[in-house]
A and B are shown apart, each in its own frame.
Chain A
Amino acid sequence: MKDVILIFSSVHHTLGAEEQLMKTTWHFLVVPVPPHINEGCGLGIQIEENEVAAVLQYLEEKGFSPVKVVNL
């Protein structure tokens, strides 16, 4: 199973997204963003690739859309 990292504009927004995801049953992890990705706040949320679409839709509804989705 491949994973992806959702990258947000700030630590605050990353934790805002984390707060929303904690209300769900999706498995996720707050992780460091690899240094070669010069975007976002250094933190990201790792999720399973096959759940990206559903997670993105959910986060958009909650006002926490990521600025980028990176495949690992």
Chain B
Amino acid sequence: MLYFDNAATTWPKPEEVYRAHDQALRQGGNAGRGVHQASLAASRTLFRTRDSLARLFKIKERDRIIFTQNVTESLNLALQGILNPGDHVLVSSLEHNAVIRPLEYLKSRGVSYSVVPCSPEGELDLQVCEQYIKPKTKLMCFTHASNVLGTILPVRELGRFARKHELLFMVDAAQSAGVIPIDVEEMNIDLLAFTGHKGLLGPPGTGGLFVREGIVLRPLIYGGTGTHSASLSQPELWPEGLESGTRNVPGLAGLNAGVEYILARGIASLRRHELELMDLLLSGLESIPGIRILGPREPEKRVGLVSCVFSCHSADKIASLLDRKYGIITRAGLHCAPLAHKTAGTDKQGALRISLGIYHTEEDIKSLLAVLEELLRGE
């Protein structure tokens, strides 16, 4: 099998991730529930994972990292936890449904939002952004990189823009965490939502939200925290007060191993490898007649994914042929991001998405290109 669906979930994971997951599952213990050795070991696993994430994202306050199941939960926790009736939010036209659907729900609670349009390649103009600010705008919520077009948004400039206008700034790092360097201080990021199972190389069922000190956040879920058990009210403490219910300790042990792997290999080195492969992939796709590539041509303007459409076939048909006939895994459809497809003009037909992983080689890319050429030239 040749796996090119790393934007959905990365595979395979580093061996260290499998080992850490297995070891934590066998070790047992529920974090924060009891003071026996197994529970303490589980709690220390969470502590170490917060620590490695803090080093990766340059977060000073480790206790402001809350563990969730995935980035969708992180975004929901943030949007439902900080927005109040009357508040207005700015988003881009590249946002995933993980942002848009909670905001649509919040409309019934008196929250409104505006979509700042991007170019068909997914580029954002800050001057256009300025036109959408309203007196009640409280939050800017932008994806770091589009899961459809691959385009990287100018997060550093957006962070400065948010500071200038005294707005909270949240970044959806679903496609960028572990792939592009993120520094929450330098980038003025107030809230960072990430998932564990993509670029961070951890298992599914892991994710998190960083919330800058001073921001008040209502919990999304209320219940047992393992702390202040005599109190019938939710404890107002970080991070446990926002982590009711058992955390996925084996998953988070795996996530820690994934993050430590990235820190050891160096994010810049991983990115260089991705850019080399992306250049090869883009050049190869361009040379095959009947393919239209979405997003910017320059590899450095994107994360490691390319979506494309075909003049003679639907993306679904190509994805299905690649899978069944050649064992090549890609993903066709709207990728839960209809606004991004509308931006690119592909909201009716969808697209085929090819997404790279850290273990891909030039040979893998050449194999994929050869098959695509065979499929399309055969017509």
Binding site for B on A (CB under 8 A): 9-13, 15-16, 19, 30-32, 35, 38, 40-43
Contacts and interface: CB of A to CB of B under 8 A. Distances in A.
Given A11-B43, A41-B228, A41-B240, 9 more contacts: A10-B227, A11-B32, A12-B46, A15-B47, A19-B47, A35-B230, A38-B230, A40-B228, A42-B32
Interface string B46-70: 1100100000000000110000000
Given A42-B229, A43-B35, A30 B240 contact: no
B238 interface: yes
Contact of B238 (A10, A32, A40, A42): A10
B43 A32 contact: no
B62 A30 contact: no
Nearest to B230: A38
Interface of A is mostly: mixed
Interface of B: 31-32, 34-35, 40, 43-44, 46-47, 50, 62-63, 226-231, 237-241
A41 B103 CA distance: 34
A10 B47 contact: no
Contacts of A38: 228, 230-231
A22 to B, nearest CB: 11
Interface of B is mostly: loop
Nearest to A9: B237
B63 A41 contact: no
A30 B43 CA distance: 12
A41 B35 contact: no
Nearest to A11: B32
B62 A10 contact: no
Contacts of A11: 31-32, 43, 226-227, 240
A35 B229 CA distance: 9
Given A41-B226, A41-B228, A12 B35 contact: no
Contacts of B228: 38, 40-42
A12 B50 contact: yes
Contacts of A32: 34-35
7 contacts: A11-B32, A15-B43, A15-B47, A38-B228, A38-B230, A42-B32, A42-B227
Contacts of A43: 35, 43
Contacts of B32: 11, 41-42
Nearest to A36: B230
B237 to A, nearest CB: 5
A19 B63 CA distance: 14
Contact of A10 (B34, B40, B231, B240): B240
A71 B331 CA distance: 61
A35 B62 CA distance: 28
Contacts of B237: 9-10, 41
A40 B47 CA distance: 17
A30 B179 CA distance: 37
A43 B229 CA distance: 12
Nearest to B61: A63
Contacts of B63: 10, 12-13, 16
Of B226, B229, B237, most buried by chain A (CB within 10 Å of CB) is B237
Closest 4 CB pairs of A and B: A41-B227, A32-B35, A15-B47, A11-B32
A31 B35 contact: yes
A38 to B, nearest CB: 5
Contacts of A30: 35, 40
A34 to B, nearest CB: 11
B223 to A, nearest CB: 15
Contacts of A41: 32, 226-228, 237, 240
Contacts of A31: 35
A56 B214 CA distance: 25
B53 to A, nearest CB: 13
